[in-house]
Amino acid sequence: MNPAAQAQQQDLLKVEPASPAASGAPVTPTTPVLCLCGAAARVGGRTLWSGVDLEVQAGEFVAVLGPNGVGKSTLVKVLLGTVPAAAGDIRVLGRRPGEAGHRVGYLPQRRSFDSDLRIRGIDIVRMGLDGDRWGVPLPWSRSRRAEQARVDEVIELVGASAYAHRPIGQCSGGEQQRLLIAQALVRRPEILLLDEPLDSLDLPNQSAVAALIGRICHQEGVAVVMVAHDVNPILHHLDRVVYIAEGGAVCGPPSEVINSETLTRLYRTPVEVLSTQDGRLVVVGQPEAPAVHTDRHTGREK
């Protein structure tokens, strides 16, 4: 990204901070935007995790980690309200899940568009703004200009201006992912729920998208909950980690959670965390969750 574009983005960020007051929510810095207390989830008669306690403040970057099939995506769906929690108290922006509406942005797991889908990226972003309103957009509507401006602004923010007018089917995986993040951001959410956004991206794109999410989180004050299977690309941006394994979960700063002691306690089997020279973490000996494949598929079809 060239310096000029970056400077421009900085300007935009200063002009448009997502202040809680603007969206009419009485969220003070001391109230957590997200609060789970003794939460549990059950899918298909199997308890995925239980007794999960978590509080997320505005502007915090939280990663949800763990092996395949432990219910990381289910956690996001519970927060969205599309999967009911089996137990516990869950508050999203002080309300029950699913009631916070457009104040929650969501990026589902691994979406790709048909390569012959001839709809522009900007239209996909625009859907995030007004896609749930009935009727068709009218050319003489008064709010049109403002909405157009907001879409352009958010596309600029994620650095997707160069290809937003191209059919989304012709964009690369990384480009599509940026546009989809723009879509999740377009309504100025206070919480961003991301389900493996770095999946299927190459390494440079992974770190670029991770940096983008980190910047949005810390500069715009958006709380980010991100499901990831690899912590390393986001390690520098993280405030807290939720590590789910075998029915339970541990929360805390990355260094306190991703270490041999904690993970050994969580898995009840010896697990070792190695740190490479460049600060990357490698978890050795972590057992896989049972019934990985069936579980993942049933989860996805929902």
| Site residues (vs another protein, CB under 8 A) | 42, 45-47, 50, 80, 82, 98, 101-102, 104, 106-108, 111-120, 123-124, 127-128, 130-137, 165-167, 170-173, 183-184, 247, 301
Min. distance of Cβ 130 from another protein in angstroms? 7
Comparing CB distances to another protein, the nearer of 120 and 215 is 120
Min. distance of Cβ 174 from another protein in angstroms? 11
Separation between Cα atoms, residue 266 and residue 244, nearest integer Å: 8
**CB of 269 within 8 A of CB of 263?**
no
**CB of 100 within 8 A of CB of 92?**
yes
Comparing CB distances to another protein, the nearer of 185 and 238 is 185
Min. distance of Cβ 118 from another protein in angstroms? 5
Comparing CB distances to another protein, the nearer of 160 and 258 is 160
Comparing CB distances to another protein, the nearer of 110 and 236 is 110
Min. distance of Cβ 101 from another protein in angstroms? 7
Min. distance of Cβ 41 from another protein in angstroms? 11
HEC-encoded secondary structure of the chain: CCHHHHHHHHHHHHHCCCCCCCCCCCCCCCCCCEEEEEEEEEECCEEEEEEEEEEECCCCEEEEECCCCCCHHHHHHHHHCCCCCCEEEEEECCECCCCCHHHEEEECCCCCCCCCCCCEHHHHHHHHHHCCCCCCCCCCCCCHHHHHHHHHHHHHHCCCCCCCCCEHHHCCHHHHHHHHHHHHHCCCCCEEEEECCCCCCCHHHHHHHHHHHHHHHHHHCCEEEEECCCCHHHHHHCCEEEEEECEEEEEECHHHHCCHHHHHHHHCCCCEEEECCCCCEEEECCCCCCCHHHHHHHHHHC
Comparing CB distances to another protein, the nearer of 79 and 273 is 79
Min. distance of Cβ 8 from another protein in angstroms? 23
Min. distance of Cβ 145 from another protein in angstroms? 16
Comparing CB distances to another protein, the nearer of 48 and 58 is 48
Strands, sheet with 87-92, edge to edge from the N-terminal-most edge strand: 46-56, 34-43, 87-92
Comparing CB distances to another protein, the nearer of 77 and 237 is 77
Comparing CB distances to another protein, the nearer of 170 and 286 is 170
Min. distance of Cβ 67 from another protein in angstroms? 16
